Amino acid sequence: MSRNLILGACLSSLVLLAALVSFVWTPYDYAALNIPEKLQPPNAEHLFGTDHFGRDMFSMIMVGARTSIAVALVAVGIGMALGVPLGLAAAARKGSWLDEVIMRGNDLVFAFPSLVIAILITAVFGAGAINAIIAIGIFNIPVFARITRGAALSLWEREFILAARVSGKGAARISVEHILPNVANLLIVQGTIQFSLGILAEAGLSYVGLGAQPPTPSWGRMLADAQTMVSFAPHLALIPGLAIIITVLGLNLLGDGLRDWLDPRIRVARA
């Protein structure tokens, strides 16, 4: 196991742990206002200081991890649940109208960056964490469809697939029995990377007000709130930023480490 993998796993589990623990325990109530203690820099009582309402930043970061992870995880789930079957189907029917429709559909979705999708959804239905999930999730579909199709296409050329066809197995069965297990590693690695991209995207959407709404704490919105106070309370901006960086860095290192560990030969498109 590489250093990357260990460091990435440690950082990721640290964040995950914080998110899980926040369900049962936080140092303070994350929503409790305490105006007299507002804008304290990090100190022994408030490890990460307090914000302009005197709320404990440490507790908010812990609960914010929950939001980030939930949004990104569900978005990756949507992307995989829809993208992988589409990719498998497109590869199984290479060159057919089905393949063509799926791939052109992919191209079309690629033309809508997740922010644009979020803008559209918000314009119509209003803002909220669900928007962020849908917007990031939709953008993930073509990512997974494409990578699945690419890997599956080269597998379909392999002779063990021909052998399975000679044994009378149909395309659906071969896809599940032979193709899917052989692309699983690739999907795990890409999933980790999309997870980290999802964290970044969620932060961005929340920052511009298209993501999680108050009172749900979110790292992106904490940054938006901090913006006007950055000159006299820089910790308000620094701490949520570092939380995002650590999470994303951890997941990326984990993804890179997993790729090398699971199979040194596979290549993942990183974009």
Partner 1 sequence: MSLLQIKNLSLAIHDTDILKQVNLSIAPGEIVAVTGESGSGKSMTALAVMQLLPNGAQTDGAIRLNEKDLLDQTEDQMCALRGAAIGMVFQEPMTALNPVKTIGDQVMETILIHKAMPHPQARARAEEVLTRVGLPPDRFPLSRFPHELSGGQRQRVVIAMAIALRPKLLIADEPTTALDVTTQAQILDLLKGLVTEFGMGLLMITHDLAVVADMADQIVVMRHGEVVESGATNHLLHHMQHPYTRMLFEASGHQVTLPDPGQPKPLLEVSNVVRDYRLPRKGLFETSGHHRAVDDVSFTLNRGERLGLVGESGCGKSTLTRAILGLEEVQSGDIRLDAQPVFSGHKANLAVRRKMQVVFQDPYGSFNPRHRVARLITEPFHLLETPPTGSERQDRIAEMLTAVGLSPDDMGKYIHEFSGGQRQRIAIARALIIRPELILFDEAVSALDVSVRAQILDLLVELCEAYDLTYLFISHDLSVVRTITDRVMVMRSGQIVEEGRTESVFSDPQHQYTKDLINAAPTLPDIGKVVA
Partner 2 sequence: MLRYALKRLISLMISLAVASVVIFAVIEVAPGDPASFMLGVNAQEDTLAALRAELGLDGSKVQRYFNWVGGMLVGDFGTSYTYRTPVSQMIADRLWVSLPLALYALTLSTVIAFPVGIYAAARRGKPGDLTVMGATQLGIAVPNFWFAMMLVLIFAINLRWFNAGGFAGWDNGFWTGIHSLTLPAIALALPQAAILARVMRSSLLDILGEDFMRTARAKGLSRRQALWRHGVRNALIPVLTIIGLQFSFLLAGSIIIEQVFYLPGLGRLVFQAISARDLIVVESVVMLLVFAVITVNFLVDLAYAAVDPRLRSRT
**Contacts to partner 1 by CB under 8 A:** 158-160, 162-169, 178, 181-182
Binding to partner 2 (CB under 8 A): which residues in 189-228? 196, 200, 203-204, 207-209, 220, 223-224, 226-227
Q: Which is nearer to partner 1, 62 or 179 (CB)?
A: 179
Q: Which is nearer to partner 2, 6 or 116 (CB)?
A: 116
Token reading at 183: 């692309």
Minimum CB separation from partner 2 for residue 242, in Å?
9
Per-residue contact flags (x/-) with partner 2 for residues 137 to 176, judged by CB under 8 A: ----------------------------------------
Q: Which is nearer to partner 1, 125 or 160 (CB)?
A: 160
Minimum CB separation from partner 1 for residue 88, in Å?
16
Number of residues in contact with partner 2 under rule CB under 8 A: 44
Q: Which is nearer to partner 2, 92 or 224 (CB)?
A: 224
Minimum CB separation from partner 1 for residue 167, in Å?
5
Angstrom distances, CA of residue 82 to CA of 28, 51, 94, 139, 229: 40, 40, 18, 11, 42
Binding to partner 2 (CB under 8 A): which residues in 229-268? 230-231, 234, 237, 240-241, 244-246, 248-249, 252-253, 267
Q: Token pair 């904490």 is at which residue?
A: 222
